[in-house]
Amino acid sequence: MTVLEPAPAGELTRLRAENAALRARMQHRDDELEVATRMLQARAQTMTSVVDAVTEQSIIGTDVDGVVRVWNPGAERMLGLLRADVVRRRSITDFHLAEELLEAGGGLAALVGTAQERGRDVRDWTYVAADGTELTVSVAVTPRTDDRGVHAGWNFVGTDMTEARATERMKDQFVSLISHELRTPLTSILGYLELVLDDPSLGDEPRRYLGTVERNAQRLLRLVGDLLFTAQVDAGRFSLQPESVDLAAVVRAAEETVRVTAAATGVEVVVDVPDGGLVVPGDAVRLGQACDNLVSNAVKFTPAGGRVTLALRPAWRTAGGAVVATPGDDAVRVARLAVSDTGIGIPAGEQGQLFARFFRASTARRHAVPGVGLGLAITRAIAAAHDGSLEVASVEGRGTTFTLTLPG
């Protein structure tokens, strides 16, 4: 029989010390794990509390297959289903109008495709509540990740826009109806005015009076046209008649249109366009309308002795979106029209609202400059329809520059 020799006292001491150190490290790790667990639980509880506190918007979280994992009180209120009846039992697609999903490509991919490509997507969808009610909902879709940063599903944050969209449709219908009812008699008035003004026996004084009537009738007709145009844009019925357009000729025509008004108010208008022209694809009528709006605005907001400059140049847009004056690798050609004035300018805090319908800057109101606030909204809509952009730079009291950029 083998008899085990007892370990030397020094070896036992060393082993006990290592064991104690190992136990201490394990206890430290246990303590760290407990703290981390409590922090994660606290963070999860905080997030749950925040999500549950939102009652005016639906917040729905899904896994990668679209199965609902998060369903806040706002979703309960909007769609009429309790959390317990939905989580892990229903798919996000169950609450969308089937026909609308099918038109967009069908299934979960129709809802998340854009967010998958761009990181986010916001658009109107039709939600169907438990009682069959159809709701127009503005839905923001973003990817959802887990604690390791791995894609775990999707977040859908919905705002009920049913009443707002209905109000917008009623407003647009009203604008269209009233505009049509105004345009018909105005056209008749202008037709008869033309007949009367063509009468050679008409005296000078009546001709002056009727000339004033004609100018104001034309002004009303332009306003009616602007109202109809904005209604078409909002309703998605705005279409273009594309062709090759010499933008230089459009700019010269815009200057010619305001020449008499500029001369009467003491404003100098300078045109700087390429001698050989600058051709872009687009709708000649709409691009003319956009240029006319920018140029007439510049003249209108410039006091006597001031200057308005119309500068048209070719440029290039880089892959990063910057517009530069010289061509480079992967840059695409664009046309840039800068309409600059030395007028009253726009306060910095109001420039973000400048392209909203019916908005008028405080400087315009203070100086009693006439207008209804539709021109810039229309011009930006025309630019966007051409895949272009309209930007503003202004200093109050020193002038304004509007830059229209169009694909070349």
Span 243-407 CATH architecture: 2-Layer Sandwich (3.30)
| Tokens representing residue 337 in the block | 């029209």
Q: 53 pLDDT exceeds 70?
A: no
Contact 353, 359 (CB under 8 A): yes
Per-residue pLDDT of 77-108, as tens digits, reads 999 999 999 999 999 999 999 999 999 999 99
Length of the chain: 408
| Tokens representing residue 210 in the block | 């009727």
pLDDT at 170 (0 to 100): 80
Per-residue pLDDT of 151-200, as tens digits, reads 999 999 999 999 888 877 787 777 777 777 777 888 888 888 888 988 88
pTM: 0.58
- Closest listed residue to residue 115, CA positions, set 137, 142, 92, 93: 142
* 3-state secondary structure (DSSP) of residue 97: coil
Q: 54 pLDDT exceeds 60?
A: no
The CB-side HSE value for 84 (13 A sphere, CA atoms) comes to 0
Determine which of 35-39, 53-57, 211-215, 268-272 has the lowest per-residue pLDDT on average: 35-39
pLDDT averaged over every residue in the chain:
86
> Which residues, other chains included, contact 360 with Cβ-Cβ below 8 Å and sequence gap of 6+?
371, 372, 373
* 3-state secondary structure (DSSP) of residue 340: strand
| Tokens representing residue 6 in the block | 């007892």
Q: 3 pLDDT exceeds 60?
A: no
Buried b (16+ CB within 10 A) or exposed e, 382-396: bbebbebbbeeebeb
Measured in degrees and rounded to the nearest 5, phi and psi for residue 239 equal -125, 160
CA distance 43 to 61: 17
Structural domain boundaries of the chain? 52-160, 165-234, 243-407
348 vs 232, residue with greater confidence: 348
> Which residues, other chains included, contact 210 with Cβ-Cβ below 8 Å and sequence gap of 6+?
193, 196, 197, 202
| Tokens representing residue 185 in the block | 């008699």
CA distances from residue 56 to 72, 75, 79, 161 in whole angstroms, order as listed: 10, 9, 12, 11
* Residue 7 pLDDT grade (very low, low, confident, very high; cuts 50, 70, 90): low
Per-residue pLDDT of 341-373, as tens digits, reads 999 999 999 998 988 878 888 888 888 887 778
pLDDT at 62 (0 to 100): 95
Per-residue pLDDT of 295-354, as tens digits, reads 999 999 999 999 999 999 999 988 878 888 888 778 889 999 999 999 999 999 999 898
| Tokens representing residue 109 in the block | 């991919």
Concatenated DSSP letters for 276-322? T--EEEE-HHHHHHHHHHHHHHHHHTS-TT-EEEEEEEEEEE-TTS-
52-160 sits in which CATH class? alpha beta
